[in-house]
Amino acid sequence: MSAHLPSSLAQSLTVARYEIHKYLRGMKIYVMLALMALMIGLTLFLPPLFGGSVPTDPMIFMSQLVNQVTMLIIISAVLFASDALTGEFENRTGFLIFPRPIRRGTLFLGKYMASFAIVSALIALYFGVAALLSIYYTGSIYADTLTSLGLSLLFIAGCNGLAFLVSSLMKRGNTSAVLVFSLFLIIMPMFLFILILNDIDPIVMLPQAGSAIDIVIPSYFPEPPDAIILPPIDRGVASAVMAAWAVLCSIPAALIFGRREL
């Protein structure tokens, strides 16, 4: 009787399960949990130290916490996605995995699902803690909090897609992580600034689309007099842009990973 191999989807789910297990046993997840706790702690306890107080308006309360989400997602992409593919070549684990009866596309999908799942779980935990704290301090939760979480998941997909594309091209995980971090915090903001100066809507840039996460919950911080005012962001357009980044980055990343030699 001939043995039947599991389907590609079943293999991808197996890969994802082991990747998640690896993340849970590593230090990266504890770094993210500590960072999330630090952000929440500073937001709640720092203002009273300087004579302020914790807001009692649910919109203002959630605005303070949600404003940190895009940065958390970018850091998560650096930690959980930037070396996801590079590691197979840098650590030479590909010599053990690639000869096995599993397609590289299947392996790619499993790794992407694992990265997306772990980051989504962390961000959902952050929103959940923020919601519970909002109930405790204000008595309610701002109505658009769930919408902000949904946009966060799309931003995670886009950030992971870009991080996987970089990872498919780099030889070392550290180089890939530095490049991903630089793309989000240096290179893309420069392009965004250039687009604004030339009166071009920067919504096509992933960080600008991701800013819809916190714009859904209006910020109570006043704009400085000399600040550059960004054009208003439509939720639907921002969602489409983030989804497009996820797809248009993931497809070439999978193709490159599938053809790359050890």
The most confident of 85-94, 153-162, 225-234, by mean pLDDT: 153-162
Asked if residue 240 has pLDDT above 60, the reply is yes
pLDDT band at 225 (very low <50, low <70, confident <90, very high): very low
Q: How high does pLDDT run on average in the chain?
A: 85
pLDDT of residue 93: 54
pLDDT: which is higher, 209 or 231: 209
> What pLDDT is recorded for position 153?
96
DSSP string, the chain: -PPPPPPHHHHHHHHHHHHHHHHHHSSHHHHHHHHHHHHHHHHHHHHHHTT-----SHHHHHHHHHTTHHHHHHHHHHHHTTTTTHHHHHS-THHHHTTSS--HHHHHHHHHHHHHHHHHHHHHHHHHHHHHHHHHHHSS--TTHHHHHHHHHHHHHHHHHHHHHHHHH-S-HHHHHHHHHHIIIIIHHHHHHHHHHTT--GGGSHHHHHTHHHHSS---SPPPTTPPPPPP--HHHHHHHHHHHHHHHHHHHHHHHHH---
The token pair at 104 is 């590289």
Give the C-alpha separation, 215 to 72, whole Å: 16
Q: What pLDDT is stored for residue 92 in this prediction?
A: 56
pLDDT at 257: 86
pTM more than 0.85: yes
**Is residue 33 a contact partner of residue 122, using CB atoms and an 8 Å limit?**
yes
> What pLDDT score does 183 carry?
94
Report the pLDDT value the prediction gives residue 187, as an integer from 0 to 100.
93
pLDDT digits (tens, 9 = 90+) for 18-66: 889 989 998 999 999 999 999 999 988 887 787 777 888 888 899 889 9
pLDDT at 6 exceeding the cut of 70: no
Q: How crowded is the C-beta side of 103, counted as CA atoms within 13 Å? A: 12
Cα separation, 24 vs 30, whole angstroms:
9
Give me Rg for the CA atoms of the chain. Answer: 20
254: pLDDT strictly greater than 50:
yes
Average pLDDT over residues 158-170: 93
pLDDT of amino acid 86 = 85
- Mean pLDDT to the nearest integer, 149-163: 96
Specify the higher pLDDT residue, 237 or 89: 237
Q: What is the pLDDT of residue 95?
A: 40
Per-residue pLDDT, 231: 58
Q: Is 52 exposed, middle or buried (0-12, 13-18, 19+ CB in 10 A)?
A: exposed
Say which residue, 171 or 126, is predicted with more confidence.
126
Percent of the chain with pLDDT over 90: 47
DSSP per residue, 212-255: HHHHSS---SPPPTTPPPPPP--HHHHHHHHHHHHHHHHHHHHH
Q: In this predicted structure, what is the pLDDT of residue 106? A: 84
Summarize pLDDT for 169-191 with one digit per residue, the tens: 888 888 999 999 999 999 999 99
- Distance (Å, whole) CA 64 – CA 82: 28
**Tokens describing residue 130:** 């923020």
With vertex at residue 251, the alpha carbon angle to CA 102 and CA 97, rounded to the nearest 5 degrees, is 20
Question: Tokens 């840039």, residue?
Answer: 205
For residue 97, pLDDT over 70 is answered with no
- pLDDT at 2 > cutoff 70: no
